[in-house]
Amino acid sequence: EGAIWARIVETSASESAAFDALRPSVSASVRIRAGRAIAASWRIAWGARVFRVLAVRADEAGWLDLSCEEVSP
Protein backbone atom coordinates (compact mmCIF):
# COMPACT_ATOMS: atom_id res chain seq x y z
CA GLU A 1 0.00 0.00 0.00
CA GLY A 2 1.01 3.59 -0.40
CA ALA A 3 2.13 5.80 -3.25
CA ILE A 4 5.07 4.98 -5.51
CA TRP A 5 6.42 6.58 -8.67
CA ALA A 6 5.57 4.83 -11.91
CA ARG A 7 5.61 5.35 -15.66
CA ILE A 8 2.23 4.42 -17.14
CA VAL A 9 1.83 4.07 -20.90
CA GLU A 10 -1.40 3.04 -22.62
CA THR A 11 -0.44 0.27 -25.02
CA SER A 12 -3.79 -0.36 -26.72
CA ALA A 13 -7.45 0.57 -26.66
CA SER A 14 -10.44 -1.14 -28.20
CA GLU A 15 -14.16 -1.66 -27.84
CA SER A 16 -16.04 -4.92 -27.71
CA ALA A 17 -19.73 -5.65 -27.92
CA ALA A 18 -21.19 -7.64 -25.05
CA PHE A 19 -24.87 -7.98 -24.30
CA ASP A 20 -25.73 -5.33 -26.92
CA ALA A 21 -23.51 -2.70 -25.28
CA LEU A 22 -20.09 -1.37 -26.27
CA ARG A 23 -17.44 -1.96 -23.65
CA PRO A 24 -14.10 -0.15 -23.89
CA SER A 25 -10.89 -2.01 -23.11
CA VAL A 26 -7.60 -0.25 -22.34
CA SER A 27 -4.28 -2.02 -21.83
CA ALA A 28 -1.34 -0.32 -20.17
CA SER A 29 2.27 -0.94 -19.31
CA VAL A 30 3.40 0.24 -15.87
CA ARG A 31 7.09 0.45 -14.90
CA ILE A 32 8.24 0.71 -11.28
CA ARG A 33 11.51 0.13 -9.45
CA ALA A 34 12.08 -3.47 -8.36
CA GLY A 35 12.03 -4.20 -4.65
CA ARG A 36 8.28 -4.04 -4.26
CA ALA A 37 6.24 -7.21 -3.86
CA ILE A 38 3.68 -7.03 -6.68
CA ALA A 39 1.44 -9.90 -7.74
CA ALA A 40 -0.71 -10.51 -10.78
CA SER A 41 -4.37 -9.70 -10.01
CA TRP A 42 -3.44 -6.73 -7.79
CA ARG A 43 -4.89 -3.35 -8.69
CA ILE A 44 -3.26 0.01 -9.34
CA ALA A 45 -5.15 3.23 -8.67
CA TRP A 46 -4.09 6.18 -10.85
CA GLY A 47 -6.30 9.14 -10.12
CA ALA A 48 -9.86 8.04 -10.89
CA ARG A 49 -8.62 5.14 -13.05
CA VAL A 50 -8.04 1.58 -11.83
CA PHE A 51 -5.85 -1.04 -13.53
CA ARG A 52 -5.68 -4.78 -12.84
CA VAL A 53 -2.18 -6.28 -12.99
CA LEU A 54 -2.14 -9.19 -15.44
CA ALA A 55 1.58 -10.04 -15.42
CA VAL A 56 4.78 -8.97 -13.65
CA ARG A 57 8.20 -9.13 -15.32
CA ALA A 58 11.52 -8.13 -13.76
CA ASP A 59 14.35 -6.88 -15.95
CA GLU A 60 18.07 -6.96 -15.23
CA ALA A 61 18.31 -3.18 -14.78
CA GLY A 62 16.26 -3.16 -11.56
CA TRP A 63 12.78 -2.44 -12.91
CA LEU A 64 9.45 -4.26 -12.80
CA ASP A 65 7.25 -4.11 -15.90
CA LEU A 66 3.57 -4.67 -15.19
CA SER A 67 1.10 -5.59 -17.92
CA CYS A 68 -2.26 -4.14 -16.92
CA GLU A 69 -5.85 -3.79 -18.04
CA GLU A 70 -8.13 -0.92 -17.03
CA VAL A 71 -11.18 -1.97 -15.05
CA SER A 72 -14.29 -0.10 -14.01
CA PRO A 73 -14.03 1.36 -10.50
Contact 61, 31 (CB under 8 A): no
Is the pTM of the predicted complex or chain greater than 0.75? no
pLDDT tens profile 35-57: 878 888 899 888 888 999 999 99
In angstroms, the CA 47 to CA 57 distance is 24
Percent of the chain predicted with pLDDT > 70: 77
- DSSP string covering 34-66: SSS---TT-EEEETTEEEEEEEEEE-TTSEEEE
